[in-house]
Structure 1
């Protein structure tokens, strides 16, 4: 018997060839990179050629051993900021919380005020007299050991007074409040006057007495200087006495007054000798119509 031939399945239609996926087009813009050693012309008025492959020179003063050491400035800022934050918080806790109240709130307040003072010394110098914004502008170490001994003595007297005589024998609570209030007023006025005076003097202010007249040095007679001849000294003097009133110190109040008076009397006398040499009659006339603001110093 003849078997039928097997039928083959119909052939499927051939699929169209798949088109290859489009490759990403290369970017049409790339930053310009000049070949090594090529020079470009600067945009300043001198049109000097500058080798753009050459790193700018490093100012040695910003190195760790330099006068404007970036590491030294940042370390001082960190320590001052930390001290200010901790002592301010401790002051608030010991004055606003009844269970934690103690007359010794004056000590962290004093340290907080010192931190703010030294921060402002550097900050205002950096903002208004940048050329002299060195690590010594903080005034943390440039005043010598006597400066730190004075602060340590003030804290020690406050501690001893509150330990041996927690209840004052002479002052009534109302007089103590008046004493602290007067001290706070002197501190606020002194700090404000000193900081504003430094800003108004700008590049003409310096923490050291200038023995040579610099280029651009002018006699500042406006703002606070129209009233005070040495407003920064006025501010420091009364700020220092205000701190001792707030601390309730008797011995240090007298010692601060004596030491600060002698220091500023000598410094003002020396500084004005140079100012007369720098500005002549202009400064002599200004001295006649201005005021130092420290008793006994004219």
Structure 2
């Protein structure tokens, strides 16, 4: 399946923004610093570069294309800045840079995966940047915990086996979720459907042969992995509990819908394959 126009546009913007974000550091390393003495602040350069990129986008695109481009550009720029923080900042900030890159890539790859596999349903919501108020509060809480703990105990935020294990958990969760999307293809949606489409099929092969909800499993472990990267003990516990409750409810709602769509076929599938989420069995019914 070919990548649709909106997917290609987002990919160009994401990659271009990532490259441009790295230019100041590259030029500095090459000692092309005639403008450095004038600005004397890398953050000022990034603000100017990002502002210039947004000006170009406003001139080049309109409507939905502009909304896609500006979000992909933002995520690409943040992704690259996170990498720069990891390589260029003090030890106590390095893993925050990795976290930023992981977060930005996750949200961008959600849009790209939908644009590639199910372009008819792609929308601005496919970036899931505005997932929910609770999601935003959770993200801000993790940033606040990291900053406060780093201020008082900077050494506990330095890279360790815990933070790298969190990175592995995030990468594994990311891969599993995207495998689920690419396996389900047009049968996947960010929104639980309440009406069965004519081409809607029950997917039981690939990663769906190992767990019934691989996309949720991937997201669950990605979520708690982000807090291990930041080494946030309080948010780790809060994320684990909150994510479990969210997916417990989400699985119940989705499986009730799937049982209505596929009836005995889904009951047989339930008997053979678990949800993949710890202590979550899903909606069971005997026919």
| CA contact 2:166–2:225 (8 Å) conserved in 1 | yes
**Greater radius of gyration (CA):** 1
Q: Secondary structure at the match of 1:209?
A: coil
Q: 1:266 aligns with which of 246, 249, 252?
A: 249
2:163, 2:62 → 1: CA distance?
44
| CA contact 1:241–1:256 (8 Å) conserved in 2 | yes
Q: Secondary structure at the match of 1:257?
A: helix
Q: 2:74 aligns with which of 54, 57, 79?
A: 79
1:150, 1:184 → 2: CA distance?
19
Q: Which residue of structure 1 aligns with residue 170 of structure 2?
A: 187
Q: CA deviation at 1:167?
A: 4.0
Q: RCO greater where, 1 or 2, for CA within 8 Å and sep 6 or more?
A: 2
Q: Which residue of structure 1 aligns with residue 134 of structure 2?
A: 146
1:81, 1:215 → 2: CA distance?
37
1:102, 1:282 → 2: CA distance?
53
* TM superposition score normalised by structure 2: 0.74
Q: 1:164 aligns with which of 152, 176, 191?
A: 152
What do residues 17-70 of structure 1 show as CA deviations (whole Å, max 9, x unaligned)?
xxxxxxxxxxxxxxxxxxxxxxxxxxxxxxxxxxxxxxxxxxxxx973xxxx11
2:164, 2:96 → 1: CA distance?
16
Q: 2:88 aligns with which of 83, 86, 93?
A: 93
Q: Which residue of structure 1 aligns with residue 197 of structure 2?
A: 214
Which stretches of structure 1, 4 residues or more, deviate above 4 A after TM superposition? none
Q: Which residue of structure 1 aligns with residue 20 of structure 2?
A: none
Q: 1:103 aligns with which of 92, 96, 109?
A: 92
| CA contact 2:95–2:163 (8 Å) conserved in 1 | no
Q: Which residue of structure 2 aligns with residue 19 of structure 1?
A: none
Q: 1:123 aligns with which of 91, 112, 131?
A: 112
Higher helix residue share:
2
| CA contact 1:154–1:252 (8 Å) conserved in 2 | yes
| CA contact 2:96–2:229 (8 Å) conserved in 1 | no
| CA contact 2:169–2:222 (8 Å) conserved in 1 | yes
Structure 2 residue 126 is the aligned partner of structure 1 residue 137? yes
Q: What are the residue-to-residue correspondences of 1:178-257 with 2, within 5 Å?
A: 178-257=161-240
Q: CA deviation at 1:93?
A: 2.0
The change in CA–CA distance for 1:126 and 1:70 in structure 2 (over 3 A counts) is: same
| CA contact 2:217–2:276 (8 Å) conserved in 1 | yes
Q: Which residue of structure 2 aligns with residue 33 of structure 1?
A: none
1:159, 1:228 → 2: CA distance?
37
Q: How many residues align?
A: 221
2:262, 2:214 → 1: CA distance?
19
| CA contact 1:104–1:159 (8 Å) conserved in 2 | no
1:165, 1:74 → 2: CA distance?
39
Q: Which residue of structure 2 aligns with residue 29 of structure 1?
A: none
- Give ranges in structure 2 of 5+ residues lacking alignment: 1-60, 282-287
Q: CA deviation at 1:92?
A: 2.2
2:204, 2:221 → 1: CA distance?
22
